Structure 1
Amino acid sequence: MSMVAVAVGVGTAANMYAANKSASAAKEAGRNATAESARQYNQTREDMMPWLEAGGWALDRQQQLLQGDYSRFFESPDYKAALQLGTEALDAGATAQGNLWGGGADADRIKFGQQLASQNLGNYWNRLAGLSQTGQSTANQLGGFGQTYANNVAQNQWGVASARASAYGQMADSFNSGINDFMGYYGYKKGYGA
């Protein structure tokens, strides 16, 4: 075999090798980009979980209230503190008047408790609503981040597929070019081309 045929064969093989290396590099870059997108999404999700969990907790408390369960409200620290301070103030006033255990003092305590519960229930609900809305907003943001992540993965996969297809095309072109060059040289050598 002549040196020209060897050169054509080596050139064809080198082109095919380079195209394959290019496709492998694109595939690795696509994997790395996908891994980084996954890492960032997972970190963002982890960072946002406290808000999502707080929103779920608050929504659960709101649902309990709507079902008629006020136990969590009556156990809330702000309600308990306001009830205690208000009752102590009423007791102090009734004691000063010498009527701590009289009917009027009891009526005052009942009226105070009802008004306090009515007033604080709205505040309690609003605080829960704020937290549950924060959770909902966080869930919406995570959904958006998830969609972005999915789009990035799809884009990376399309990029890898495109690079792979391009490399296959380059390999085919190199092979065909090598065959044409060899055949041209072979034909020239036999006197067909002259």
Structure 2
Amino acid sequence: MSWGMVAGAAVSLIGGSMANRAEQRGQDAQREASEASIEEQRRQYDLTRQDQMPFLEAGYDSLGRQQAFLDGDRSGFENDAGYLFNREEMERGLNRRAAAGGSYRNNGTDVDMARMLSGFANSHSDSYWNRLAGRAGQGQTTASGLGALGMGMANSIGNIYGNTAAAQASSYQRQGDIWGQTAAGVGGAFNYWAQNRNASGGGWGGGGGGGWKYPSGGSGPYKG
């Protein structure tokens, strides 16, 4: 085989190897970019969830207080800051009026106090419930938002994985084409050399006409 043929085959092999390596590097870069994108999406979701957690926890707490109130536990209501403040103000005002009228701490004042506290408790319980409902609703809204955000992230990551898999499959196909073209180039160079050698009377294994011949008809080498 001439040095030109050897060089051509070597160039074909080297070119194929370099093209295949470049394809592999491109595949690696795409995979790294996909993983970086997925990691960033997860990081952003975790940050958002952390920021929204106080609202979610407040909603859970309020929902639990509502259930306890319905079950007859009035401790949350009776210790509510708004209820205690307004009750103290009401008692203080009633005592001042009773003292000014000379009836402080008598039975009539106690009856009036009990009647006012009963009505005040009934009216304030509605306010207490509504405030809990507002906080619980806020938590529910937060939970729904986080759920939608998580679903969107899951869909996005799924698309990234799907696109990456499709790109890898395409890359494998291109690598196969590269090596196939390389093999065809090397095989063509060898075939060209063999045909030229046969045409010039050269043999395959012994020198002169006593070696193996490679006919142009394609029937295979034969002993000359």
TM-score category, normalised to shorter length: over 0.9
Aligned mates of 1:60, 1:118 — CA distance in 2: 21
Say if 2:171 is the partner of 1:189.
Answer: no
User: Counterpart of 1:23?
Assistant: 27
* Aligned 8 A contact 1:19 1:171 in 2: yes
User: Counterpart of 2:210?
Assistant: none
SS in 2 for 1:100: coil
- Larger-Rg structure: 2
User: Counterpart of 2:183?
Assistant: 179
Instruction: Give the letter aligned to residue 186 of structure 2.
Output: F
Question: Quick one: which of 48, 54, 67 aligns to 1:50?
Answer: 54
Question: Quick one: which of 108, 111, 122 aligns to 1:107?
Answer: 111
User: Counterpart of 2:208?
Assistant: none
User: Counterpart of 1:32?
Assistant: 36
Question: Quick one: which of 141, 144, 151 aligns to 2:145?
Answer: 141
Extract unaligned runs of 5+ from structure 1: none
Aligned mates of 2:96, 2:36 — CA distance in 1: 72
Greater relative CO, 1 or 2 (CA 8 Å, sep 6+): 1
Aligned mates of 1:21, 1:167 — CA distance in 2: 10
Say if 2:135 is the partner of 1:117.
Answer: no
Aligned mates of 2:173, 2:114 — CA distance in 1: 87
User: Counterpart of 2:202?
Assistant: none
Q: Per-residue displacement from partner, 1:145-181 (whole Å, max 9, x unpaired)?
A: 1111111221221122122112111110000011111
Q: CA deviation at 1:2?
A: 0.7
Say if 2:166 is the partner of 1:162.
Answer: yes
User: Counterpart of 1:4?
Assistant: 8
Aligned mates of 1:88, 1:43 — CA distance in 2: 48
- Count of aligned positions: 193
User: Counterpart of 2:205?
Assistant: none
Aligned mates of 1:6, 1:42 — CA distance in 2: 54
- Identical pairs, percent: 33
| Bigger shift: residues 9-18 or 159-168 | 159-168
Q: Per-residue displacement from partner, 1:10-51 (whole Å, max 9, x unpaired)?
A: 111111111111110111011100110011000100110010
User: Counterpart of 1:68?
Assistant: 72
* Aligned 8 A contact 1:12 1:174 in 2: yes
Runs of 4+ with deviation above 2 angstroms: none
| Bigger shift: residues 44-53 or 144-153 | 144-153
Question: Quick one: which of 115, 134, 144 aligns to 1:130?
Answer: 134
Aligned mates of 1:30, 1:190 — CA distance in 2: 49
| Bigger shift: residues 124-133 or 164-173 | 164-173
User: Counterpart of 2:201?
Assistant: none
* Aligned 8 A contact 1:30 1:159 in 2: no
The alignment's C-alpha RMSD in Å is 1.3
User: Counterpart of 2:220?
Assistant: none
Q: TM-score, normalised by structure 2?
A: 0.83
Aligned mates of 1:134, 1:101 — CA distance in 2: 45
Instruction: Give the letter aligned to residue 174 of structure 1.
Output: I
Q: CA deviation at 1:140?
A: 0.5
* Aligned 8 A contact 1:55 1:134 in 2: yes
Q: Per-residue displacement from partner, 1:105-163 (whole Å, max 9, x unpaired)?
A: 11110111011101110011111100000000000001111111111221221122122
Aligned mates of 1:160, 1:126 — CA distance in 2: 51
